[in-house]
Chain A
Amino acid sequence: MADRSSLASAAIRLRLFAALREQAGWAERDWPGDPAAGPLTPRTIWMALGLEGSLDSVRVAINQQFASADTPLQPGDELAFLPPISGG
Protein backbone atom coordinates (compact mmCIF):
# COMPACT_ATOMS: atom_id res chain seq x y z
CA MET A 1 0.00 0.00 0.00
CA ALA A 2 1.35 3.40 -0.96
CA ASP A 3 2.17 5.74 1.87
CA ARG A 4 0.95 9.34 2.08
CA SER A 5 4.11 10.86 0.62
CA SER A 6 4.01 8.72 -2.53
CA LEU A 7 0.34 9.48 -3.00
CA ALA A 8 1.01 13.18 -2.68
CA SER A 9 3.88 13.06 -5.16
CA ALA A 10 1.70 11.24 -7.71
CA ALA A 11 -0.90 13.97 -7.63
CA ILE A 12 -1.15 16.91 -10.00
CA ARG A 13 -1.04 20.24 -8.17
CA LEU A 14 -3.72 22.54 -9.55
CA ARG A 15 -3.58 26.31 -9.28
CA LEU A 16 -6.08 29.00 -10.24
CA PHE A 17 -5.62 32.76 -10.34
CA ALA A 18 -7.62 35.97 -10.31
CA ALA A 19 -11.17 35.66 -11.66
CA LEU A 20 -10.87 31.89 -12.13
CA ARG A 21 -9.83 31.44 -8.50
CA GLU A 22 -12.76 33.47 -7.24
CA GLN A 23 -15.19 31.67 -9.52
CA ALA A 24 -14.01 28.26 -8.31
CA GLY A 25 -13.66 29.25 -4.65
CA TRP A 26 -10.22 27.71 -4.30
CA ALA A 27 -6.66 28.62 -5.26
CA GLU A 28 -4.80 25.32 -5.00
CA ARG A 29 -5.69 21.67 -4.74
CA ASP A 30 -4.31 18.25 -5.58
CA TRP A 31 -5.75 16.18 -8.39
CA PRO A 32 -5.16 12.44 -8.05
CA GLY A 33 -2.96 11.02 -10.76
CA ASP A 34 -4.23 7.51 -11.42
CA PRO A 35 -2.12 5.80 -14.12
CA ALA A 36 -4.84 3.20 -14.64
CA ALA A 37 -7.30 5.91 -15.67
CA GLY A 38 -5.29 6.85 -18.75
CA PRO A 39 -3.22 9.95 -19.50
CA LEU A 40 -4.30 13.17 -17.87
CA THR A 41 -4.09 16.43 -19.78
CA PRO A 42 -5.03 20.00 -18.83
CA ARG A 43 -8.06 19.65 -21.09
CA THR A 44 -9.39 16.52 -19.34
CA ILE A 45 -8.91 18.11 -15.92
CA TRP A 46 -10.54 21.37 -17.05
CA MET A 47 -13.59 19.45 -18.26
CA ALA A 48 -13.76 17.46 -15.05
CA LEU A 49 -13.58 20.62 -12.93
CA GLY A 50 -16.71 21.97 -14.59
CA LEU A 51 -15.68 25.60 -14.34
CA GLU A 52 -17.64 28.18 -16.28
CA GLY A 53 -16.29 29.32 -19.61
CA SER A 54 -14.31 27.78 -22.41
CA LEU A 55 -10.77 26.56 -22.19
CA ASP A 56 -10.16 28.62 -25.35
CA SER A 57 -10.22 31.76 -23.21
CA VAL A 58 -7.81 30.34 -20.65
CA ARG A 59 -4.06 29.74 -20.91
CA VAL A 60 -2.38 26.72 -19.46
CA ALA A 61 0.94 26.57 -17.62
CA ILE A 62 2.65 23.35 -16.62
CA ASN A 63 5.43 23.70 -14.07
CA GLN A 64 5.27 27.46 -14.57
CA GLN A 65 5.71 27.38 -18.34
CA PHE A 66 3.04 27.97 -20.96
CA ALA A 67 1.89 24.70 -22.48
CA SER A 68 -0.73 23.19 -24.75
CA ALA A 69 -3.99 22.05 -23.18
CA ASP A 70 -3.35 18.60 -24.63
CA THR A 71 0.09 18.07 -23.08
CA PRO A 72 0.22 14.77 -21.15
CA LEU A 73 0.70 15.46 -17.45
CA GLN A 74 3.20 13.69 -15.24
CA PRO A 75 2.83 12.87 -11.54
CA GLY A 76 3.97 15.80 -9.45
CA ASP A 77 3.33 18.39 -12.18
CA GLU A 78 2.01 21.82 -11.24
CA LEU A 79 -0.85 22.76 -13.55
CA ALA A 80 -2.20 26.31 -13.63
CA PHE A 81 -5.18 27.70 -15.51
CA LEU A 82 -4.58 31.36 -16.28
CA PRO A 83 -7.35 33.82 -17.15
CA PRO A 84 -6.57 36.57 -19.69
CA ILE A 85 -3.37 38.34 -18.70
CA SER A 86 -3.35 42.09 -18.06
CA GLY A 87 0.01 43.29 -16.86
CA GLY A 88 2.07 46.41 -17.31
Chain B
Amino acid sequence: METTPELNLAMPNLAIRLHSERFDPIERLGVWHALLEQRAISTAAESLFIGRVRPSASDDGIALEALELEHYPGMTERQLEALARDCCQRHGVSSCLIEHRIGRVLPNEAIVLVATCADRRGPAQRCCQELLEALKHEAPFWKREWRADGSSRWLSGNTPL
Protein backbone atom coordinates (compact mmCIF):
# COMPACT_ATOMS: atom_id res chain seq x y z
CA MET B 1 0.00 0.00 0.00
CA GLU B 2 1.43 3.39 -0.96
CA THR B 3 0.99 6.16 1.53
CA THR B 4 1.70 9.18 -0.61
CA PRO B 5 1.01 10.19 -4.18
CA GLU B 6 3.49 9.43 -6.91
CA LEU B 7 4.37 13.05 -7.43
CA ASN B 8 4.35 16.18 -5.42
CA LEU B 9 3.24 18.67 -8.00
CA ALA B 10 4.06 21.74 -5.90
CA MET B 11 7.54 21.60 -7.44
CA PRO B 12 7.24 20.26 -10.99
CA ASN B 13 10.20 17.90 -10.83
CA LEU B 14 10.09 16.86 -7.20
CA ALA B 15 8.81 13.37 -6.46
CA ILE B 16 8.46 12.08 -2.91
CA ARG B 17 7.09 8.70 -1.99
CA LEU B 18 6.85 6.66 1.19
CA HIS B 19 6.67 2.90 0.82
CA SER B 20 5.09 0.70 3.45
CA GLU B 21 6.32 -2.37 1.58
CA ARG B 22 9.57 -3.38 -0.09
CA PHE B 23 10.56 -1.32 -3.12
CA ASP B 24 13.17 -1.82 -5.80
CA PRO B 25 15.25 1.37 -6.04
CA ILE B 26 16.51 0.56 -9.53
CA GLU B 27 12.97 0.03 -10.79
CA ARG B 28 11.88 3.28 -9.14
CA LEU B 29 14.78 5.10 -10.79
CA GLY B 30 13.60 3.76 -14.13
CA VAL B 31 10.12 5.16 -13.51
CA TRP B 32 11.67 8.48 -12.51
CA HIS B 33 13.86 8.64 -15.62
CA ALA B 34 10.90 7.87 -17.87
CA LEU B 35 8.98 10.70 -16.23
CA LEU B 36 11.85 13.15 -16.73
CA GLU B 37 12.24 12.06 -20.34
CA GLN B 38 8.54 12.56 -20.91
CA ARG B 39 8.91 16.08 -19.62
CA ALA B 40 12.12 16.72 -21.58
CA ILE B 41 14.02 17.40 -18.34
CA SER B 42 17.80 17.24 -18.67
CA THR B 43 19.58 14.53 -16.70
CA ALA B 44 23.07 15.51 -17.85
CA ALA B 45 24.44 15.13 -14.33
CA GLU B 46 22.75 12.84 -11.87
CA SER B 47 23.74 11.82 -8.39
CA LEU B 48 22.03 9.14 -6.37
CA PHE B 49 22.20 7.39 -3.05
CA ILE B 50 20.64 4.09 -2.03
CA GLY B 51 20.65 3.13 1.64
CA ARG B 52 19.97 -0.46 2.71
CA VAL B 53 19.49 -2.16 6.07
CA ARG B 54 22.64 -3.60 7.61
CA PRO B 55 22.50 -7.28 8.60
CA SER B 56 23.70 -6.59 12.15
CA ALA B 57 22.82 -4.34 15.07
CA SER B 58 24.55 -0.97 15.17
CA ASP B 59 26.06 -1.26 18.63
CA ASP B 60 27.13 -4.86 19.28
CA GLY B 61 26.88 -6.52 15.88
CA ILE B 62 24.23 -9.08 16.85
CA ALA B 63 22.32 -10.37 13.82
CA LEU B 64 19.39 -8.15 12.92
CA GLU B 65 16.00 -9.60 12.14
CA ALA B 66 14.47 -6.36 10.94
CA LEU B 67 14.53 -2.61 11.19
CA GLU B 68 11.29 -0.88 12.09
CA LEU B 69 10.76 2.62 10.74
CA GLU B 70 8.17 4.78 12.43
CA HIS B 71 7.24 8.21 11.09
CA TYR B 72 4.97 11.14 11.81
CA PRO B 73 2.32 10.96 9.04
CA GLY B 74 1.78 14.32 7.45
CA MET B 75 4.75 16.06 9.02
CA THR B 76 7.18 13.64 7.39
CA GLU B 77 5.93 14.38 3.89
CA ARG B 78 5.87 18.13 4.55
CA GLN B 79 9.38 18.09 5.95
CA LEU B 80 10.74 16.06 3.07
CA GLU B 81 9.20 18.48 0.61
CA ALA B 82 10.51 21.54 2.45
CA LEU B 83 14.01 20.08 2.77
CA ALA B 84 14.10 19.08 -0.89
CA ARG B 85 12.80 22.41 -2.12
CA ASP B 86 15.33 24.34 -0.05
CA CYS B 87 18.26 22.13 -1.01
CA CYS B 88 17.43 22.05 -4.73
CA GLN B 89 16.97 25.81 -4.84
CA ARG B 90 20.29 26.53 -3.13
CA HIS B 91 22.24 24.18 -5.39
CA GLY B 92 20.43 24.94 -8.63
CA VAL B 93 19.19 21.38 -8.98
CA SER B 94 16.43 20.87 -11.52
CA SER B 95 14.83 17.66 -10.32
CA CYS B 96 14.80 15.50 -7.24
CA LEU B 97 13.49 12.12 -6.19
CA ILE B 98 13.09 10.84 -2.62
CA GLU B 99 11.73 7.36 -1.88
CA HIS B 100 11.74 6.18 1.72
CA ARG B 101 10.55 3.04 3.49
CA ILE B 102 8.36 2.96 6.56
CA GLY B 103 7.31 -0.05 8.61
CA ARG B 104 9.26 -3.28 8.96
CA VAL B 105 12.33 -3.45 6.71
CA LEU B 106 14.44 -6.58 6.36
CA PRO B 107 18.25 -6.72 6.17
CA ASN B 108 19.59 -5.69 2.75
CA GLU B 109 16.28 -4.15 1.72
CA ALA B 110 16.36 -0.54 0.57
CA ILE B 111 15.44 2.11 3.13
CA VAL B 112 16.04 5.25 1.13
CA LEU B 113 16.68 6.40 -2.41
CA VAL B 114 17.68 9.99 -3.16
CA ALA B 115 18.41 11.17 -6.69
CA THR B 116 19.18 14.67 -7.93
CA CYS B 117 19.66 15.96 -11.47
CA ALA B 118 21.43 19.12 -12.57
CA ASP B 119 23.43 20.52 -15.48
CA ARG B 120 26.73 19.81 -13.71
CA ARG B 121 28.05 17.08 -11.44
CA GLY B 122 28.98 19.49 -8.62
CA PRO B 123 25.48 20.72 -7.82
CA ALA B 124 23.99 17.26 -8.32
CA GLN B 125 26.45 15.58 -5.96
CA ARG B 126 26.45 18.29 -3.32
CA CYS B 127 22.66 18.49 -3.27
CA CYS B 128 22.26 14.73 -3.05
CA GLN B 129 24.62 14.44 -0.08
CA GLU B 130 23.23 17.47 1.72
CA LEU B 131 19.64 16.38 1.22
CA LEU B 132 20.39 12.90 2.50
CA GLU B 133 21.97 14.31 5.67
CA ALA B 134 19.08 16.74 6.08
CA LEU B 135 16.44 14.05 5.89
CA LYS B 136 18.38 11.87 8.33
CA HIS B 137 18.29 14.63 10.93
CA GLU B 138 15.29 16.80 10.09
CA ALA B 139 12.54 14.47 8.86
CA PRO B 140 10.57 12.71 11.62
CA PHE B 141 11.58 9.08 11.18
CA TRP B 142 12.61 6.75 13.98
CA LYS B 143 14.46 3.45 13.66
CA ARG B 144 14.08 0.48 15.93
CA GLU B 145 16.37 -2.51 15.61
CA TRP B 146 14.80 -5.93 16.09
CA ARG B 147 17.47 -8.51 16.82
CA ALA B 148 17.46 -12.19 16.08
CA ASP B 149 17.35 -12.90 19.85
CA GLY B 150 13.97 -11.15 20.10
CA SER B 151 15.19 -7.97 21.79
CA SER B 152 14.69 -4.51 20.31
CA ARG B 153 16.09 -1.02 20.73
CA TRP B 154 15.09 2.42 19.47
CA LEU B 155 18.08 4.18 17.94
CA SER B 156 18.84 7.60 19.33
CA GLY B 157 20.71 8.97 16.34
CA ASN B 158 22.33 8.23 13.01
CA THR B 159 25.49 6.38 12.07
CA PRO B 160 28.54 8.60 11.47
CA LEU B 161 29.01 10.06 8.01
Contact = CB atoms under 8 A, between A and B. Distances in A.
Interface string B147-158: 000000011111
Nearest to B102: A87
Interface residues of B, number: 27
Nearest to A84: B156
Chain B's interface: helix, strand, loop or mixed, by majority? mixed
Interface in A11-41: 15, 17-19, 22
Given A17-B142, A18-B70, A19-B142, A86 B157 contact: yes
A39 B143 CA distance: 34
A75 B138 CA distance: 26
Report the interface size class on chain A: 10 to 19
B140 A82 contact: yes
Contact of A85 (B78, B100, B112, B138): B138
A64 B136 contact: no
A83 B72 contact: no
B130 to A, nearest CB: 12
A61 interface: yes
B103 to A, nearest CB: 13
A87 B138 CA distance: 8
A31 to B, nearest CB: 18
Given A19-B154, A83-B154, A83-B156, A88 B141 contact: yes
B7 interface: no
B135 interface: yes
17 contacts: A15-B72, A17-B70, A17-B72, A17-B142, A18-B144, A22-B154, A61-B72, A64-B72, A64-B74, A66-B138, A83-B154, A84-B155, A84-B156, A85-B138, A86-B157, A87-B135, A88-B111
Given A18-B70, A61-B72, A82-B140, 20 more contacts: A15-B72, A17-B72, A17-B142, A19-B142, A65-B75, A66-B138, A83-B142, A84-B155, A84-B156, A85-B140, A85-B142, A86-B156, A86-B158, A87-B69, A87-B71, A87-B100, A87-B136, A87-B141, A88-B132, A88-B135
Interface of B: 51, 69-72, 74-75, 78, 100, 111-112, 132, 135-144, 154-158
